[in-house]
Amino acid sequence: MAYVALADREQELSHPHSFLTKYIWSQDHKVIAIQYGLTAIAVGVVALILSVMMRLQLGFPDTFSLIHPSEYYQFVTMHGMIMVIYLLTALFLGGFGNYLIPLMVGARDMVFPYLNMLSYWFYLVSVIILMSSFFVTGGPTGAGWTLYPPQAIMQGTPGADAGIILMLVSLAVFIIAFTMGGLNYVTTVLQARTRGMTLMRMPLSVWGIFTATVLGLLAFPALLVSAIMMAFDKILGTSFFMPAIISLGEQTEYMGGSPVLFQHLFWFFGHPEVYIVALPAFGIVSDLLSTHARKNIFGYRMMVWAIVGIGGLSFIVWAHHMYVSGMNPYFGFFFATTTLIIAVPTAIKVYNWVLTLWQGDIHLTVPMLFAIAFIFTFIHGGLTGIFLGNVVVDLPLSDTYFVIAHFHMVMGVSPILVVFGAIYHWYPKMTGRMYNERLGQAHFWMTFLGTYSIYLPMHYLGFLGVPRRYYAYEGIEFIPQSAIELNAAITIAAIIVALTQIIFFVNMTWSLFKGKKADPNPWGSASLEWQTPDTPPIHGNWGPELPTVYRWAYDYSVPGADKDFISQDTAPSDTAPETNT
């Protein structure tokens, strides 16, 4: 099946024959995407369970004797790291990136399919290494997901022996996996777009994933560098980050290192990471809103520029995570300014989403509900971000539940709502079946209202000054009884939300076998992935010839057209009603 791609004159697709090469050692981007997705969701469930354990301790402190302080910190650490990196990054880029990029730009596969396969297997290895740290002496690291030295590698921190080493190794392997995948996503967008698919005709999902991948490729090295240097400090006894310090009453060999250096390196990765997760969500949600409101996305060019602008700005805001680290106060002024500037393109995107809905023909399908809910949670989390971006407001709030509430709204709940919306949206294409609408609606409402009842009260706890990272609050005088009771209520909401996800898994699994057969294009979507000859698309995606693209991806409700959308591969002469009937 040799074919002519625009980039390389000729490229051979692999020919899978056995079950093993077709579904396990597969080089097909769609299979790899699903492997990535399932692994990420599986590890995400682990992180979800960990968060419930944390909430049980916080809500009912004396009831669960099996959760000790050290386990609590291990749960915190693993929950954070898994959710941010092994779930969200892997799912958006490895999962949706893999599935959508070739289909949306009209390619048969990624440009380096073998590398793509390796990427998944390296990712799986990194997950296995991470999970194995639950089973070593001392357990996983409890250093907090930011792994700040010196405590991350000092005796007394849970998992300071094997746990932290496994964490650093796992991160390094993950970064290698991500780099292999990322090279594919970027190069595929650059090289393998089909005829007529200019950059400005790409759906915003591709723009979001593409830009996020570029950010990831440039920012993950910062995590790699800090992980390598910390591993040297831990294993070989160098002093990159470790100051002269006394441990367990004895002077250690360390001297002169700088913990703040680690924070700079970590957050130089850490802040772009926020956008690595957010930009794909921005892109996908734009497509969901436009499709289900039967209206072109408002301000497409602005949306693209905003994505690209946010990408550039995201590298100069990192130190707003470090206002309390004791760095030069003038830096705080600079980083507060850049942080507020980055709110401008972000706000443009929010306005454009709302204006896309304005006078649209809104279909309240499950994906649409999730997309609209995202606008709520994202505005909410974004506004509290403006609070925290200012140094004077951040200083008192930094160590409280306000921060937990802020970043869970903006970086936890918002992207996860998009993940769910995207899964429901593309489920018919991926599986060829429709999901159960009622279960989907139930899942949406319980998740949306449930997460709100978890995180909204946390803002209030933050204003009260309830400190985060604490295992228990007994004997702290300024925390009123009502806050303790609120914590119990939050825990109950968290348990309900966690259990609600069972509905999702039941729906997905049941529909896979018993769901109604799906239409090839059930939403009437104009973008290319819905125009494949087969549903689900077969290996190679397109028939004997690659599609040609004649228009952008948002021709919805065009006056005079015979349908309420014109797909991207419809030639100009076919759009007039008389020629098409």
The yes or no reply on residue 191 touching other proteins (CB under 8 A) is yes
- Cα separation of 513 and 507, whole Å? 10
- Cα separation of 428 and 426, whole Å? 6
Considering the complex, what minimum distance in angstroms separates the CB of residue 207 from other proteins? 11
For residues 308 and 439, which CB has a smaller minimum distance to other proteins in the complex? 308
Task: Identify the DSSP state of 522.
Answer: T
For residues 120 and 427, which CB has a smaller minimum distance to other proteins in the complex? 120
Considering the complex, what minimum distance in angstroms separates the CB of residue 549 from other proteins? 6
Residues from 315 through 354 that contact other proteins (CB under 8 A): 315-316
Among residues 432, 192, 211, which one has the least CA distance to residue 304? 211
For residues 46 and 110, which CB has a smaller minimum distance to other proteins in the complex? 110
The yes or no reply on residue 105 touching other proteins (CB under 8 A) is no
The yes or no reply on residue 222 touching other proteins (CB under 8 A) is yes
Backbone phi and psi for residue 384, each to the nearest 5 degrees, phi listed first = -65, -25
- Cα separation of 387 and 331, whole Å? 18
Tell me the two tokens of residue 316.
């100069």
Residues 6+ apart with CB under 8 A from 200: 300, 301, 304, 552
One of 240, 378, 426, 504 touching other proteins (CB under 8 A): 240
Considering the complex, what minimum distance in angstroms separates the CB of residue 40 from other proteins? 22
One of 154, 160, 168, 183 touching other proteins (CB under 8 A): 183
The yes or no reply on residue 174 touching other proteins (CB under 8 A) is no
Considering only the stretches 338-346, 409-417, 435-443, 545-553, report the one whose residues sit in contact with other proteins under the rule CB under 8 A.
545-553
The residue type at 569: D
Indicate the pairing of strand 246-247 with strand 250-251: antiparallel
One of 1, 38, 200, 502 touching other proteins (CB under 8 A): 200
Tell me the two tokens of residue 550.
């004649």
The yes or no reply on residue 552 touching other proteins (CB under 8 A) is yes
Considering only the stretches 214-222, 276-284, 394-402, 483-491, report the one whose residues sit in contact with other proteins under the rule CB under 8 A.
214-222
For residues 18 and 328, which CB has a smaller minimum distance to other proteins in the complex? 328
Cβ-contact 404, 468 below 8 angstroms: yes
The yes or no reply on residue 264 touching other proteins (CB under 8 A) is yes
Question: 221 in helix, strand or coil?
Answer: helix
User: Residue 97's CB: how many other CB atoms inside 10 A?
Assistant: 32
One of 3, 25, 60, 112 touching other proteins (CB under 8 A): 112
Cα dihedral sign, 568-571-575-580: negative
The yes or no reply on residue 236 touching other proteins (CB under 8 A) is yes
Among residues 193, 250, 219, 452, which one has the least CA distance to residue 316? 219
For 44-64, give one letter per residue: b (16+ CB within 10 A) or e: bebbbebbbbbbbbbbebeee
The yes or no reply on residue 1 touching other proteins (CB under 8 A) is no
Q: Count of residues binding other proteins (CB under 8 A)? A: 64
**393: Cα within 13 Å, side-chain hemisphere:** 13
For residues 309 and 412, which CB has a smaller minimum distance to other proteins in the complex? 309
Considering the complex, what minimum distance in angstroms separates the CB of residue 327 from other proteins? 11
Considering the complex, what minimum distance in angstroms separates the CB of residue 229 from other proteins? 7
Considering the complex, what minimum distance in angstroms separates the CB of residue 355 from other proteins? 15
Cβ-contact 265, 226 below 8 angstroms: yes
**Exposed/middle/buried for 4, CB within 10 Å: 0-12, 13-18, 19+?**
exposed
One of 300, 420, 426, 448 touching other proteins (CB under 8 A): 300
One of 46, 214, 336, 413 touching other proteins (CB under 8 A): 214
Considering only the stretches 433-441, 474-482, 484-492, 546-554, report the one whose residues sit in contact with other proteins under the rule CB under 8 A.
546-554
Considering only the stretches 30-38, 216-224, 374-382, 428-436, report the one whose residues sit in contact with other proteins under the rule CB under 8 A.
216-224
- Cα separation of 516 and 539, whole Å? 23
The yes or no reply on residue 239 touching other proteins (CB under 8 A) is yes
For residues 312 and 543, which CB has a smaller minimum distance to other proteins in the complex? 312
Considering the complex, what minimum distance in angstroms separates the CB of residue 257 from other proteins? 7
- Cα separation of 211 and 307, whole Å? 7
> Helices in 82-203 by DSSP H: which ranges?
98-105, 113-132, 162-191
Backbone phi and psi for residue 239, each to the nearest 5 degrees, phi listed first = -130, 55
Cβ-contact 446, 500 below 8 angstroms: yes
The yes or no reply on residue 13 touching other proteins (CB under 8 A) is no
- Per-residue CA distances from 378 to 224, 381, 418 (Å): 29, 5, 11
Question: 561 in helix, strand or coil?
Answer: coil
The yes or no reply on residue 3 touching other proteins (CB under 8 A) is no
Considering the complex, what minimum distance in angstroms separates the CB of residue 305 from other proteins? 7
**470: Cα within 13 Å, side-chain hemisphere:** 19
One of 4, 199, 499, 576 touching other proteins (CB under 8 A): 199
One of 3, 7, 25, 347 touching other proteins (CB under 8 A): 7
The yes or no reply on residue 263 touching other proteins (CB under 8 A) is no
One of 70, 258, 398, 557 touching other proteins (CB under 8 A): 258
Considering only the stretches 93-101, 131-139, 309-317, 447-455, report the one whose residues sit in contact with other proteins under the rule CB under 8 A.
309-317
The yes or no reply on residue 308 touching other proteins (CB under 8 A) is yes
Instruction: Count the helix, strand and coil residues of the chain and give each as a percent rounded to the nearest 5.
Output: 65, 0, 30
The yes or no reply on residue 268 touching other proteins (CB under 8 A) is yes
- Per-residue CA distances from 158 to 63, 152, 155, 161 (Å): 22, 9, 8, 8
One of 33, 46, 88, 186 touching other proteins (CB under 8 A): 186
- Interface residues with other proteins (CB under 8 A) are 6-8, 111-112, 179, 182-183, 186-187, 190-192, 195-201, 214, 217-219, 221-222, 224-225, 228-229, 232, 236-240, 253, 255-258, 261, 264-265, 268, 296, 300-301, 304-305, 308, 311-312, 315-316, 548-552, 554-555, 571-572
